[in-house]
């Protein structure tokens, strides 16, 4: 134990909440150190005497550890290496773990040398907005930008894929308590005892909050006794969930609070099956914001040197981590907090040279202890300046004039390696503001506090400006009590423990110390007092403009220690009260969070779910190359056993499949088509209103093709609907519009026509569907159904049969997409693969072959059938050549709007066939049709190519479908297709859209 201790020269011999029996090795900039379990990286570095940990953002000034929490503006380090490398992490919030690797950042070649510290000398030229003023007007901004960003910046990220998993959790509760300090614990005990479902979240590894960093006594025992007792009680309550290492980062509408749980950030790497972080989405009936407060500094010259830190941080280091942050300290304060730091430092063996208090009157209750500890108090005084490049070695103290605007001439320098600064405390109102609340300024504590309630989130304790421990404990209890009553719960009493704290003497605001020098307001972004005064002089009157011009509060710390000082300085410059200046907008996240937990497991292939047909596995095992069709995976084509995927083999496969269907028989999986079951006595009337053509006379056992219009008169979708029974229909839709059509119909049934007795249900997943197509398809079907007559008279075109295929019920529709004799066979999905295989077995005698979407697409283009690319939401029925389907004897959806002048224009684009003049060029779908590709822009668009068959094995050359303006069709036979992105242009001949079997004899025979 002593051996470990001896290498940590700043470690106290006893005390703290660290485990001295658990030493932990870690490195910083490659140098090996040892800390203890319970340390943060910052406390372990301080224990080892490391003061310089980074370089500042813009001026590359040496920086040390400034705080002891998530508000840290300076000590940003790169953590871990390789694929787990993470830049810009706060050393003050990183729990030490074995093998931790940390590196300083924003320096080159190393932390001590850093060539870019020359920026500090150039600082007079690098004031707020310097690059706008200097470079924006000059040519080559993008050239300069690279170097500027390189010189001023944060750490570099990794380009490797994140190896860790992230998870999500959705929880509900009666009362969510954010913050596990005295207020939060007190509230949790009261709410838990009342029986409320409570979730208590805290970003630290253990509860206690500020109590962990102080030497408070509760009921005459150290405060941690009370914390432990409460935690034990809460652990025993089934209705209470405690989530430590969980940081609430955003408060959203409907009292939803999001938090990130650091599941394994405190470990070298996640354990097997463990995620790194988990997003909690918490839906609460009531929220208690016990988020505490953040100490703020005072702005004075060279207030950023390593060795200058917040007074409360210095206290926490000695009390919680048993680390002396310095050997000789000066305290600079404008409130009582500095005295607590002085006392705790002396108790820990740190020499306190003086407490410099800007107030005239020293709190009397401190006098006795000050005398006992022989601490000098210098009243009405301030720290004017500091000295020491890589670490503080002395401070300059002077007397403040009565008006606070100047320094008397009696200043002097004292040596010190630690300057603990307290400028007062700012309640953490961030989550309150996320919820929609507007903070108001409270003069008595010189800070913004929550104003009116926005949602059901109540602030309590330090987060609403109540800084005494007694007040925090009482408020936590009171608010939980009130909420429990509102939830109709029986409230149990809680005896608030007695505290040993002194009465607080009000703060006297001191935002900045007069004098020259570089006085940092926002240390993370290197924003100085002079930047703010410059912004004021240049006319930036809004605090939001000030923020964007100077970057005040725009760092990863979001100005937790700097915003109020900056706003106060602006107020002073404008001679206006701070409340009139106001705050900038607080936005989530409260602390920086990784993107991983927001995505959770919705990454990679899980980003978008995949839908598979019942025959998917067969396709996979039989050479299918898949293509995405919406969420579905469909076979695009099938390679033979010896074929490797290549463009050539793809062409061969597609040709093979088309020729098989045209000459013999093929089988294609069409399960993806939308299928809707329609029942009810008004079904025919409903279809009559939804489709443009007539449906009342469709006989049972017959199918009919139809199109639907949208309300605006443009074509929505097409498909066939079959009558299975008197009041029972089966509708098919296009694959892509399946959900939209169902939703469209449900809307009309529920909202517009509730009087119709019709039920619609999606049965897309219930039925596996396959189209048996080709001149030999009837032969295959007759073998499959030996007892059923399937000749042309018994089973005509558009006929429907409900049959039994070897014990499996099936619906067979004689409809065709390919233009061949074809039967669409639907069987219950669990039998899909088996029936598919059975058909292929039976079809072997006819050299049956499965075919994919490419062959299917080519054949429908050959036949001039419209599909998704043509039904693009911009076409009328007439544009598609389907005007015959528009009934004039009835109303239907879209009928009122379809006759608008613009939709009846003769010059509207109409469906045409397109053939390359050279009979070999492959025209891209989406190509624009123009009169002449050599014309100078703007070139009038005459139409576009909607679908292309790069090869038509049937015709022997490529073909396309497209739309060409009506007037052009009348006058022109040739047109050019251009695809500027691909630098392609091809001359095309305009033809009839039906290339194959114009009389449709093949599908009728």
Partner 1 sequence: MTEVNTSKNSLRRRSGLAHVINYGQFGNITLSGPSLFICERHPLTILQLDTNKSKTLTDLSNLLNVEFPHTTNTCKGNDERRILWLGPNRWLIVEPEHGCLQTLIKNEFNSSEVFLTDLSHGRSTVRLRGRKARDILMKGSGVDWHLNSFVTDNCAHTKLFDLAATVDCRDIDVFDIYIARGFAEDFWEILQDAAAEFGYQVD
Binding site for partner 1 (CB under 8 A): 167-172, 197, 272-275, 281, 283, 601-602, 606, 609-614, 617, 631-632, 677, 679-681, 724-728, 759, 761, 763-768, 802, 804, 806-809, 811, 828-831, 833-834
Choose between 22 and 724: whose C-beta lies nearer to partner 1: 724
* Least Å from the CB of residue 766 to partner 1: 4
Choose between 238 and 970: whose C-beta lies nearer to partner 1: 238
* Least Å from the CB of residue 675 to partner 1: 9
Choose between 48 and 613: whose C-beta lies nearer to partner 1: 613
* Least Å from the CB of residue 266 to partner 1: 17
Choose between 455 and 764: whose C-beta lies nearer to partner 1: 764
Evaluate whether 285 touches 255 at the Cβ level (below 8 Å).
yes
Evaluate whether 246 touches 280 at the Cβ level (below 8 Å).
yes
* Residue 751 DSSP class: I
CA distances from 148 to 121, 142, 229, 271 (A): 16, 10, 54, 41
* Least Å from the CB of residue 170 to partner 1: 4
* Least Å from the CB of residue 205 to partner 1: 20
* Least Å from the CB of residue 765 to partner 1: 4
Choose between 679 and 925: whose C-beta lies nearer to partner 1: 679
Choose between 42 and 484: whose C-beta lies nearer to partner 1: 484
* Least Å from the CB of residue 65 to partner 1: 35
DSSP output for 29-75: TTEEEEEEET-BHHHHHHHTT----EE-TTT--EE----SSTT-SS-
Evaluate whether 415 touches 423 at the Cβ level (below 8 Å).
no
Choose between 360 and 681: whose C-beta lies nearer to partner 1: 681
- Polymer length in residues for the chain: 1005
Identify which of 666, 739, 773 has the alpha carbon closest to the alpha carbon of residue 1002: 773
Using left for φ > 0, alpha for ψ between -120 and 50, and beta otherwise, residue 179 falls in left
Q: Can you state the percent helix, strand and coil of the chain, rounding each to 5? A: 30, 30, 45
DSSP output for 10-26: TB-SS-SS-EEEEEEEE
DSSP strands (E only) in 486-611: 520-522, 527-528
Choose between 225 and 612: whose C-beta lies nearer to partner 1: 612
* Least Å from the CB of residue 728 to partner 1: 7
* Least Å from the CB of residue 628 to partner 1: 13
* Least Å from the CB of residue 892 to partner 1: 24
Identify which of 457, 389, 404 has the alpha carbon closest to the alpha carbon of residue 429: 457
Q: What are the helix (H) ranges across 918-995? A: 966-971
Evaluate whether 343 touches 320 at the Cβ level (below 8 Å).
no
Choose between 282 and 331: whose C-beta lies nearer to partner 1: 282
**Cβ atoms within 10 Å, residue 664:** 19
CA distances from 837 to 656, 688, 842 (A): 20, 38, 9
* Least Å from the CB of residue 19 to partner 1: 25
* Least Å from the CB of residue 484 to partner 1: 16
Residues contacting 912, CB < 8 A, separation 6+: 943, 961, 962, 963, 964, 969, 990, 991, 992, 993
Identify which of 442, 503, 493, 448 has the alpha carbon closest to the alpha carbon of residue 470: 503
* Least Å from the CB of residue 632 to partner 1: 7
Burial class (CB in 10 A: 0-12, 13-18, 19+), 307: buried
Choose between 569 and 614: whose C-beta lies nearer to partner 1: 614
* Least Å from the CB of residue 731 to partner 1: 13
- Whole-number Å distance between alpha carbons of 340 and 396: 22
Choose between 83 and 806: whose C-beta lies nearer to partner 1: 806
- Whole-number Å distance between alpha carbons of 375 and 463: 31
CA distances from 224 to 21, 189, 211, 212, 462 (A): 20, 15, 7, 7, 19
* Least Å from the CB of residue 598 to partner 1: 14
* Least Å from the CB of residue 255 to partner 1: 13
* Least Å from the CB of residue 722 to partner 1: 13
Q: What are the helix (H) ranges across 402-527? A: 430-434, 469-486
Choose between 746 and 997: whose C-beta lies nearer to partner 1: 746
Beta-bridged to residue 632, according to DSSP, are: 611, 629
- Whole-number Å distance between alpha carbons of 896 and 695: 19
CA distances from 500 to 370, 468, 470 (A): 17, 11, 9
Choose between 242 and 433: whose C-beta lies nearer to partner 1: 242
Evaluate whether 946 touches 963 at the Cβ level (below 8 Å).
yes
Choose between 85 and 168: whose C-beta lies nearer to partner 1: 168
Residue 364: phi and psi, rounded to 5, are -65, -35
* Least Å from the CB of residue 609 to partner 1: 5
Choose between 179 and 832: whose C-beta lies nearer to partner 1: 832
Give the strand pairing for 457-459 and 277-289: parallel
Beta-bridged to residue 252, according to DSSP, are: 256
Burial class (CB in 10 A: 0-12, 13-18, 19+), 12: buried
Choose between 243 and 382: whose C-beta lies nearer to partner 1: 243
- Whole-number Å distance between alpha carbons of 997 and 541: 76
Choose between 322 and 768: whose C-beta lies nearer to partner 1: 768
- Whole-number Å distance between alpha carbons of 899 and 920: 40
End-to-end CA distance of the chain: 96
Identify which of 788, 818, 786, 815 has the alpha carbon closest to the alpha carbon of residue 800: 815
Choose between 806 and 891: whose C-beta lies nearer to partner 1: 806
């Amino acid at each position: 134990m002593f051996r470990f201790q001896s290498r940590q020269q700043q470690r106290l011999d006893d005390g703290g909440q660290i485990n001295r029996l658990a030493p932990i090795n870690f490195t910083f900039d490659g140098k090996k150190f040892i800390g203890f379990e319970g340390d943060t990286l910052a406390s372990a570095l301080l224990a080892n005497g490391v003061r310089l940990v980074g370089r500042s953002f813009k001026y590359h000034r040496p920086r040390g550890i400034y705080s002891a929490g998530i508000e840290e503006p300076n000590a940003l380090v790169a953590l871990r290496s390789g694929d787990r490398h993470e830049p810009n992490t706060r050393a003050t919030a990183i729990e030490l773990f074995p093998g931790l690797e940390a590196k300083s950042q924003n320096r080159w070649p190393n932390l001590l040398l850093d060539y870019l510290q020359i920026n500090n000398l150039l600082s007079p030229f690098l004031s707020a907005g310097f690059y706008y003023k200097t470079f924006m007007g000059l040519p080559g901004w993008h050239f300069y930008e690279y170097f500027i960003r390189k010189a001023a910046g944060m750490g570099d990220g990794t380009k490797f894929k994140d190896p860790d998993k992230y998870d999500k959790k959705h929880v509900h509760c009666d009362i969510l308590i954010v913050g596990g300090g005295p207020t939060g614990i007190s509230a949790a005990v009261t709410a838990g005892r009342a029986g409320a479902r409570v979730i208590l979240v805290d970003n630290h590894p253990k509860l206690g909050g500020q109590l962990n960093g102080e030497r408070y006594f509760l009921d005459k025992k150290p405060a941690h006794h009370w914390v432990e007792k409460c935690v034990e009680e809460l652990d025993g309550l089934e209705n209470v969930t405690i989530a430590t290492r969980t940081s609430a980062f955003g408060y959203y509408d409907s009292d939803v609070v999001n938090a990130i749980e650091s599941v394994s950030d405190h470990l070298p790497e996640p354990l097997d099956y463990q995620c790194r972080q988990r997003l909690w989405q918490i839906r609460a009936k009531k929220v208690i914001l016990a988020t505490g407060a953040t100490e703020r500094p005072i702005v004075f010259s060279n207030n950023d040197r390593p060795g200058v830190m917040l007074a409360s941080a210095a206290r926490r280091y000695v009390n919680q981590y048993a680390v002396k942050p310095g050997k000789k300290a000066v305290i600079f304060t404008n409130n009582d907090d500095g005295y607590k730091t002085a006392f705790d430092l002396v108790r820990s063996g740190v020499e306190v040279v003086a407490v410099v208090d800007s107030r005239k009157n020293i709190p009397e209750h401190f006098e006795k202890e000050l005398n006992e500890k022989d601490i000098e108090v210098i009243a009405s005084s301030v720290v004017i300046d500091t000295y020491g490049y890589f670490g503080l070695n002395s401070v300059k103290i002077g007397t403040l004039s009565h008006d606070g605007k100047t320094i008397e001439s009696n200043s002097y320098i004292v040596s010190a390696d630690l300057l603990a600064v307290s400028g007062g405390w700012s309640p953490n109102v961030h989550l309150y503001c996320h919820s929609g609340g507007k903070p108001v300024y409270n003069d008595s504590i010189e800070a913004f506090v929550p104003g009116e309630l926005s949602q059901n989130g109540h602030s309590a304790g330090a987060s609403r400006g109540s800084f005494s421990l007694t007040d925090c404990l009482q408020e936590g209890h009171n608010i939980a009590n009130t909420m429990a009553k509102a939830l109709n719960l029986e409230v149990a009493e809680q005896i608030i423990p007695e505290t040993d704290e002194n009465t607080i003497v009000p703060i006297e605001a001191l935002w900045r110390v007069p004098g020259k020098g570089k006085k940092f307001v926002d240390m993370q972004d290197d924003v100085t007092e002079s930047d703010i005064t410059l912004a004021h002089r240049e006319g930036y009157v809004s605090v939001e403009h000030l923020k964007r011009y100077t970057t005040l509060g725009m760092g990863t710390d979001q100005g937790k220690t700097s915003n109020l000082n900056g706003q106060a300085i602006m107020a002073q410059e404008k001679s206006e009260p701070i409340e009139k200046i106001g705050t900038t907008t607080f936005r989530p996240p409260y602390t920086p969070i990784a993107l991983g937990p927001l995505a959770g497991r919705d990454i990679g292939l899980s980003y978008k779910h995949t839908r598979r047909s019942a025959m998917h596995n067969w396709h996979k095992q039989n050479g299918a190359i898949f293509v995405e069709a919406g969420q579905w995976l469909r076979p695009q084509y099938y390679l033979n056993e010896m074929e490797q995927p290549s463009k050539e083999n793809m062409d061969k496969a597609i040709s093979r499949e088309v020729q098989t269907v045209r000459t013999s028989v093929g089988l294609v999986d069409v399960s993806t088509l939308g299928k809707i079951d329609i029942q009810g006595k008004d079904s025919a009337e409903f279809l009559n209103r939804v489709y443009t053509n007539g449906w009342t006379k469709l006989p049972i056992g017959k199918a009919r093709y139809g199109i639907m219009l949208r309300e605006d008169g443009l074509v929505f979708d097409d498909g066939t609907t079959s009558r299975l029974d008197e009041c029972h229909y089966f509708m098919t839709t296009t694959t892509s519009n399946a959900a939209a059509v169902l939703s469209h119909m449900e809307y009309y049934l529920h909202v517009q026509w509730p009087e119709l007795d019709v039920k619609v249900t999606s049965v897309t997943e219930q039925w596996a569907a396959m189209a048996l197509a080709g001149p030999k398809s009837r032969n295959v079907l007759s073998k499959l159904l030996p007892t059923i007559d399937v000749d042309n008279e018994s089973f005509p075109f558009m006929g429907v049969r409900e049959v039994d295929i070897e014990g499996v019920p099936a619906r067979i529709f004689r409809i065709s997409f390919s233009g061949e004799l074809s039967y669409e066979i639907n069987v219950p999905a669990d039998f899909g693969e088996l029936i598919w295989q059975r058909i292929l077995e039976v079809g072997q005698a006819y050299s049956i072959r499965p075919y994919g979407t490419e062959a299917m697409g080519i054949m429908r283009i050959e036949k001039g059938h419209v599909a998704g690319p043509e039904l693009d939401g911009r076409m009328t029925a007439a544009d598609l050549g389907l005007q015959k389907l528009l009934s004039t004897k009835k109303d239907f959806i879209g009928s009122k709007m379809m006759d608008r002048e613009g939709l009846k224009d003769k010059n509207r684009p109409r469906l045409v066939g397109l053939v390359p003049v050279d009979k070999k060029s492959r025209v891209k779908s989406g190509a624009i049709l123009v009169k002449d590709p050599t014309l100078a822009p703007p070139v009038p668009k005459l139409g576009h190519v909607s679908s292309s068959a790069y090869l038509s094995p049937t015709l022997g050359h490529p073909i396309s479908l497209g739309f060409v303006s009506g007037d052009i069709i009348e006058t022109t036979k040739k047109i050019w297709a251009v695809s500027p992105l691909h630098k392609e242009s091809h001359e095309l001949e305009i033809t009839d859209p039906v290339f194959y079997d114009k009389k449709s004899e093949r599908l009728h025979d």
